[in-house]
Copies of this chain bind each other. A is one copy, B any other.
Amino acid sequence: MKLAVLGTGMVGQTLAAKLDALGHDVRLGTRDPAATLARTEPGAFGNPSPAAWAAAHPRIGVVTLADAAAHGEVVVNALSGAATLAGLEQAGADHLAGKVLIDVSNPLDFSRGMPPSLSVCNTDSLGEQVQRRFPAARVVKTLNTVNANLMVDPGALAGGDHTMFVCGDDADARRQVAGWLREWFGWRDVVELGDLTAARGPEMFLPLWLRTWGALGTASFSFKVVR
């Protein structure tokens, strides 16, 4: 499948590399490809620099957000929360129209220090903001509740015995994404939460995730819905 991943941070790198390894035709979108490919400093989480990463993944074209979105039959938003709305504007509403837009971003606000607060929550969510701004896209929120490695390899933790959430206004898109989570990455327990107002749940889960990270001293954990 032709896929677009928007965002060259650790999440974008990890998702694009996995989807490429699965045999998909992947483009990685960034605001300024030349500037991105000139960056040789390692990422904030020990991940490779964009230059090193691109050299290691020669099949994945690093292109503009608009070119990536135009390429993808499905678009994955792996931009930071703060960059999401502006980045998707650059990707272009026409290139998102009618497509499943998998939104894995979190509206983290680092302006008040660590741990971050949220830039939107409670009676709204970033997922809903994206859907309102791009009404013809079929937004599905998922994967934002685990770190990048677990997104694409849940089996690396407890044999995959933990839970992922999916929500979105388009029930067909929601079910498609739930199926891809199983097929592409091996998620075994996918809970469909319903329409996109449910995105407030997984996004507002981040403060608990961040504090649990601090308490455990590792980001390699996940939550299982025990029932």
- A interface with B by C-beta (< 8 Å): 112, 117-118, 121-123, 157-158, 161-162, 165, 167, 191-194, 198, 200-202, 204-205, 207-212, 214-216, 218, 220-227
Please judge, given known A-B contacts A117-B123, A123-B112, whether A211 and B223 are in contact too, CB under 8 Å. no
Question: 20 interchain pairs (CB within 8 A)?
Answer: A112-B123, A117-B123, A121-B204, A162-B226, A165-B212, A194-B214, A201-B207, A201-B209, A202-B208, A204-B204, A204-B207, A204-B208, A205-B205, A212-B225, A221-B226, A222-B226, A223-B224, A223-B225, A223-B226, A224-B224
Tell me the smallest distance from the CB of A143 to a CB of chain B, in Å. Answer: 14
Interface secondary structure of A, over-half rule: mixed
Measured in the bound complex, the distance between the Cα atoms of B224 and A157 in whole Å is 13
Task: List residues of chain B with CB within 8 A of the CB of A211.
Answer: 167, 193-194, 198, 201
Contact B191 A215 (CB under 8 A): yes
Measured in the bound complex, the distance between the Cα atoms of B121 and A84 in whole Å is 23
Contact A226 B157 (CB under 8 A): yes
